[in-house]
Amino acid sequence: MTQVQTLQDLMERIGPRLKLRWLTTRPGSARALRGAAAGIAGQSVVGSLNCIHPNRLQVIGHPELLYLSDLGKTAYRETVGTFE
């Protein structure tokens, strides 16, 4: 299997199997994924719902959906907007 290099690669190759979908608009340009291979040893590329760490892939699972569903419309839009 070829190594996934960009966010778009990840979504195309693994997204359907994991039932991932874009919550924000799809980036127009390729967004490179970085990890241990890029010299960032020990740093996770995938993070939980955390708006403090920009440039991380946000996987929104059931717990995160529950959190988001408890927000009002404005807070929901603002929170999701931080991921763009």
User: Mind listing the pLDDT tens digit for each residue in 38-54?
Assistant: 544 444 545 455 566 55
Q: State pTM to two decimals.
A: 0.48
Tokens 């970085």 locate to 34
Give the residues across from 47 on adjacent strands. 58
Chain segment 26-41, per-residue pLDDT in tens? 888 887 876 545 544 4
Residue 58: enclosing H or E segment and its boundaries? strand 57-58
Sequence ranges of the domains in the chain? 7-81
